[in-house]
Structure 1
Amino acid sequence: VEEILKPFRLSNENLKEISKRLLKAMEEGLRNKTVGSDHPSIRPSVKMLSSHLKERPNGTENGGFLALDMGGTKLRAYYVEVMNGKIKLEPKSKEWTIPQELKNESGTQLFDYIVKNLGAFVETLKLEGNPKLPLGFSFSFPCDHKSLYKCFLTKWTKGFKCSGVERKDVAKLLREAIGRKGGLNIHPIVMVNDVVATMMSCEDENCQIGMIIGTGTNACYMEEMKNVGTEDGEEGQLCINTEWGGFGDDDSLKDFLTEFDKNLDNESDNPGEHIVEKMISGKYLGEIVWRVLLELKEKKLLFEGSVSDNLRKKDTFETRFISEIEENSEKNGLENADKILSDLDLKVNSTDPSLVKMVCDTISSRSARLCAAALVTIANRIRTNRGLPHLKITVGMDGTVYKKHPNFSEKLKEALRTLSPECDINIKVVDDASGKGAALVAAVAQRLCGQ
């Protein structure tokens, strides 16, 4: 079992090497003049996209703002009241599960669905009479942001395949759907990536980094304008959406991929893309464990060498099982493992739950340590930019893997302490980050435009 798991166990030296390669990819992305072009194939693996956001709230933002958050499975609407740059009350919100079949329909049907639910939300709150409702739209997919008000979807991810959306302006598609419905005076629409919204929603003046470890993974941070080759101007800072989930798409992580990673990638919907995301995020962790369990079964180290019809199906070992099996109480974790395996109709002997727990711990630990390497890279980038011997910084954090796994956060922080002696990195979990952050971006945009 140790022989099979050994390639997943990344040493501190491995992580430092990965960090070095990530920094190189980030610098290539910052220099690259093709970012924002219509040719995504010639972009670097870490795209380093401009969010066009140059400021955080300064304490003068006021008013009521709508927000939409569209992720992989959920659509959420928010109404957020902002006073003196901070959220005044807990936002009012409503959530819908996006129907699976809608992910394969046309873009028109998707955006009509979004606006139908948004309209119902506005009506419930009796906001229809407002002369103008600014809206921040947190759209959790890779986009080229041409401005705060215009962004083009580069490629669908997370199982979406709606036609007529890729390479189109998402804000315009939403405006057109609002026009088709009628009766909603929503303007302007400010586009924001979910990880940028996460950073913005962290009410800590020291927060300069946003990170998500959930269905997918991503990070953003405040970069010095003078270092951004894709933007005009030398003064101030700019929030950069790294899209670091694509790190490794240029084979730069080839020597760190296990056979399980390679097979998962080859059989995925997007071979050769989002390589590091496939090693880290909730969408894939369960599948990696599943592939390892099948290999252990083949070697007759698990389940008496047999497998049930259930375990043969690709998506049966869910990522949430990893959290349940790694519960802090060893006794409860092993009991959960026994139940999960029994529910999958597997023949379980007395040692199987412990072995499965070992597999889960190894896979989640690699994910946490890779995330730590990424955070250290970004924090040290900021420290170097400012010429500081030591940096104290806060990270706004969101995502179900970080929040729901019982010891993921501790694994990540332990790696941070080892890898970043020059940086004091404080992680602050933010709730409803995408909605709150999108509303705050809309508030900052309103201030900057004098609207």
Structure 2
Amino acid sequence: MAPSAIPTPAPPPSASPSPDAELLQLLQQLEAPLKNLPQLAHDFEATFHDLALTSTTQFLPTPVRVLPSGDETGQFLALDLGGTNLRVGVVELLGRRSLDTGDGERLRIPTQGSWSIPEHLKSSTAEDLFHWVSERIRNVLREQPTTTADVMELGITFSFPMEQTSHTSALLMPMGKGFTFTNTNDLAALLSTAYTATSAAGEPALRIVSITNDSVATLLSAAYAHATPCSKTAAGIIAGTGTNATCMCPVSKLHASKQPPGDSGDGGMLLNTEWSIRGTAPPLAPYVTAWDRRLDAGNEKPGFQPLEEMVGGRYLGELVRLVGLDVFPRDALPAAMHRAYGVDTKLCGDVEAAATDAEALALLADYFSADGGWGLGLGAAATFRRVCGAVSTRAAALVAAATVGVLGMNDELGDGVNIVVGYTGTILERYPGFKERCEGFMREIVRKRRGGEDGATVTLVEARDGGILGAAVLAAMVKGGST
């Protein structure tokens, strides 16, 4: 099957007024990456190779050398701490044998909970945050009917930069995503101390078996659930509140300080790329707009996460707002359009997916009702849709180009095997059309990389419950000695 063509934002319905020349010129700044995606993917790959060799904050080694076989089994407590939400669940891994015996399931999650992280904890201390996390763990354990163990084995997914030398060691680095912690903290010690300090009689103790980051967990989850003899799960990507990726990289491509002591350089190692932070800025430089610079200047850590600020769910609505300030008459805009982060990314997705401009207008009127409504009319609603499409399509293109660059780290595109990229995150999962656009861009980049020849496909596959499932899968691998 021929790869899908590069998608572009849908124009407003013909009954709507056409954007004027000034709007078209403005949107061309956002559309610039779409015209040069194969070169952008090549630039990402070259930058990633350099970061693997030189960076101390990106392309960080993990203790994982192999992917799961699919035979892993056991019951584990799993924790996934992200930029917006905390999830905790009891995960039962059943392995491939459950499929062979007709059970039809490879895993079950009988008990789980999800909570939004209170904003005040993001600017508090790490100790306060993990005290709150330990209480949420207890909430789940109290609801788990089949767990009578004295000790629960725990796998952790942590969606922030960290330095790891073993499966249970993780030194936290500056976190981003609105968190202001600056001290170096040991993740396992923080959680263990918080849980033990508030433990009650009869509650199971925790034994931390493994710690990993969100993109590694996504890859492990996808590999456990989706790998077949005709495909290879080669990367895991996150596009949610923030963004990250992981890939298998030959140890020989890493700086000596990143290689395990005494390693021969053979084989591969999963890398936590932290592809959103400052080392990835060079390929993006030609495509940074004045809106990106304004957003970055108002961020808590200017210059820290240039890619994330262009593709992360925390920022897409803010980019639409900033573009809107240059598109619409400012004195006619609702007050929320003048407030930082006054436009939610979900609104942008809903407006972009609206069946008609009239439906988009109704969505805008409802969203801004507390500020007196939208009030700019049908034509302005059509323009708002167009801006949303341009911002989200640029984000999909950048994620696609960066993903192809990551696949190049292990020469994944040259052996003719169908490539599976596991994904998770609210933008890829829920933003209308984002996953399809991203996948279309990836396939077109790969096709052009092959000189226009069709070949093995690159497919995005959702990593179901990626954070908590990946944490449990790695815990099972560590327990079984297969990492």
State the TM-score, normalized to the length of structure 1: 0.89
For the 8 Å contact 1:50–1:239, the answer to whether it is kept is yes
Distance 1:221 1:331 in 2: 41
Greater alpha carbon shift after TM alignment, 174-183 vs 340-349: 340-349
CA contact (8 A) 2:94 2:107 kept: yes
Worse-superposed segment, 343-352 or 354-363: 343-352
Q: Are 1:70 and 2:96 an aligned pair? A: no
Q: Please give the secondary structure, in 1, of the residue aligned with 2:112.
A: strand
- 2:134 corresponds in structure 1 to 115
The answer as to whether partners of 1:328 and 1:407 remain within 8 angstroms in 2 is: no
Q: 2 CA distance for matches of 1:18 and 1:432?
A: 31
Aligned to 2:37: 15
Q: Distance in 2 between matches of 1:49 and 1:247?
A: 14
- Whole-angstrom distance in 1 between the partners of 2:270 and 2:366: 43
Contact 1:383–1:390 under 8 Å retained in 2 = no
* 1:370–1:247 distance in 2 versus 1, CA, 3 Å: farther
2:206 maps to: 186
Q: CA RMSD in A?
A: 2.3
Q: After superposition, what is the alpha-carbon deviation per residue over 1:16-70, rounded to whole angstroms, capped at 9, x for unaligned?
A: 33222211221122212x63xxxxxxx5xxx101121112222443221000111
Corresponding residue of 1:30? 52
Report the Cα distance in structure 2 between the residues aligned to 1:245 and 1:332, rounded to whole angstroms.
Answer: 37
| CA offsets 1:316-341 (integer angstroms, 9 cap, x no match) | 21101111011162357534454356
Q: Secondary structure at the match of 1:141?
A: coil
Tell me the equivalent position of 2:180. Answer: 161
Compute the displacement of 1:90 (Å).
3.7
How many residue pairs get aligned? The number is 430
- Map of 2:399 onto structure 1: 371
Query: After the TM superposition, which segments of 4 or more aligned residues of structure 1 sit over 6 Å from their partners?
Result: none
1:197 alignment partner in structure 2: 217
Cα shift at 1:159:
1.4
Distance (Å, rounded) in 2 between the aligned partners of 1:247 and 1:10: 21
Pairing 1:353-368 to 2, within 5 Å after superposition: 353-368=381-396
Once the 2 structures are TM-superposed, how far is the Cα of residue 448 of structure 1 from its aligned partner?
Answer: 0.8
Letter in 2 for 1:374: A
Q: Secondary structure at the match of 2:177?
A: coil
Question: What amino acid does structure 1 have at the position aligned with 2:376?
Answer: V
Shift of 1:246: 1.4
Q: CA 1:250 to 1:401, structure 2 compared with 1: closer, same or farther past 3 Å?
A: closer
Structure 2, gaps ≥5 residues long: 1-22, 97-104, 451-455
| Post-superposition CA distance 1:225-254 (Å, at most 9, x none) | 232232132232211111111155655532
Structure 1: runs of 5 or more not aligned: 36-42
Decide whether the 8 Å contact of 2:30 with 2:394 is kept in 1: yes
> Equivalent of 2:420, from 390, 394, 401?
394
- Which residue type is aligned with residue 216 of structure 2? V
- Please tell me the residue identity of whatever aligns with 1:195: S
- Contact 2:88 2:114 (8 Å CA) reproduced: yes
Q: Secondary structure at the match of 2:365?
A: helix
Q: Spell out, residue by residue over 1:346-371, the C-alpha distance to the aligned partner (whole angstroms, 9 max, x if none).
A: 32123111111111110001000111
Counterpart in 2 of 1:409? 435
Q: Which one-letter code corresponds to 1:379 in the other structure?
A: L
Q: Quick check: 2:277–2:307 contact (8 Å CA) kept in 1?
A: yes
| Partner residue in 2 for 1:38 | none
Do 2:27 and 2:387's aligned partners in 1 also have CA atoms closer than 8 Å?
Answer: yes
Task: State the AA in 2 paired with 1:217.
Answer: T
**Aligned residue for 1:208?**
234
Letter in 2 for 1:31: L
- Given that residues 60 and 273 in structure 2 are in contact (C-alpha distance below 8 angstroms), is that contact kept between their aligned partners in structure 1? yes
Helix, strand or coil at the partner of 1:186: strand
Q: CA deviation at 1:418?
A: 1.6
Change (3 A) 1:184 1:106: farther
- Rounded to whole Å, the distance in 2 between the matches of 1:22 and 1:96 is 35
TM (norm. structure 2) is 0.83
Which amino acid is the alignment partner of residue 90 of structure 2? Y
Alignment match of 2:325 (pick from 294, 303, 309):
294
Tell me which of 427, 432, 441 is aligned to 2:465. Answer: 432
Deviation at 1:209, TM superposition (A): 0.8
Paired position in structure 1 for 2:66: 55
Change (3 A) 1:3 1:134: same
**How far apart are the structure 2 equivalents of 1:271 and 1:281?**
15
Q: CA deviation at 1:416?
A: 1.7
Q: In the alignment, does 2:24 pair up with 1:2?
A: yes
Cα distance in 1, alignment partners of residues 127 and 385 from structure 2: 45
Cα distance in 1 between the residues matched to 2:72 and 2:367 = 53
Aligned-residue identity in percent: 25
Aligned partner of 2:315 among 284, 292, 313: 284
CA distance in 2, matches of 1:101, 1:379: 38
Aligned to 2:101: none
Q: Does the residue aligned with 1:326 lie in a helix, a strand or coil?
A: helix
Change (3 A) 1:10 1:99: same
Relative distance call for 1:339 and 1:175 in structure 2 (3 A) is: same
Deviation at 1:110, TM superposition (A): 1.6
Instruction: Tell me what 2:13 maps to.
Output: none
DSSP 3-state at the match of 1:134 = strand
Query: What is the correspondence of 1:214-363 to structure 2 with a 5 Å cutoff?
Result: 214-229=240-255, 230-232=258-260, 233=263, 234-246=265-277, 250-297=281-328, 300=329, 306-327=332-353, 329-330=355-356, 333-340=359-366, 343=369, 344-345=371-372, 346-363=374-391
1:124 maps to what in 2? 143
Deviation at 1:390, TM superposition (A): 3.0
Q: 1:321 to 1:60 in 2, by over 3 A?
A: closer
Please tell me the residue identity of whatever aligns with 1:73. Answer: T
* C-alpha deviation, 1:127, in angstroms: 6.2
- Counterpart contact for 2:336–2:368, Cα < 8 Å: no
Rounded to whole Å, the distance in 2 between the matches of 1:389 and 1:125 is: 45
Q: CA deviation at 1:196?
A: 0.9
Q: Which residue of 1 aligns with 2:474?
A: 441
